Structure 1
Amino acid sequence: MVQDLAQSGQDLTWNDFDDYPYEDIGSGLYIRNYKIDEDYHVSVGGASIEKKPLYIYLVKANGEKIDIRHDDMEQFMLK
């Protein structure tokens, strides 16, 4: 899922995540967490779902994160 989405880079929108279940954790902002497994989740956040997200993070269980739109996801997962 994440690797396929990451290939779209800066073109990713909220709509790209429509087919995936999420937990809405935002308060004042739209923040949606998409669980991948016990070790990772994707966090998408922004001021409006009508605009592109401000961030799309791949987050490790320990809290480390990268933005999948432009950071090296493979290197991140190897750490």
Structure 2
Amino acid sequence: MQQVVQQVQQQQLRAGQANAFVLVPQPIPGHPRAIFLRIENQIRVLNNPNDTTFDQVSEAFKSGFQVIGVWEQQTPHILRSIQIRKF
């Protein structure tokens, strides 16, 4: 986790570990598919993830793995990526 944070800080990005999630694979018409993660007591969203990402996030929380969200400082509620850390 610390290594990820150090890398993204150099690029004006931030990262944090999620402690909750909501998957929206079939949203209402006109809205994107999304994964919502709660990181640092804020909700952050990854829009239009692929099916594999949905499965990986769900499985990571079930298995107790770390789910790390990465976002830009200018848009803190929009995730650029999600990383799964398996121990």
Instruction: State the TM bucket, normalised to the shorter chain.
Output: 0.3 to 0.5
Q: TM-score, normalised by structure 1?
A: 0.33
Larger radius of gyration, structure 1 or 2?
Answer: 2
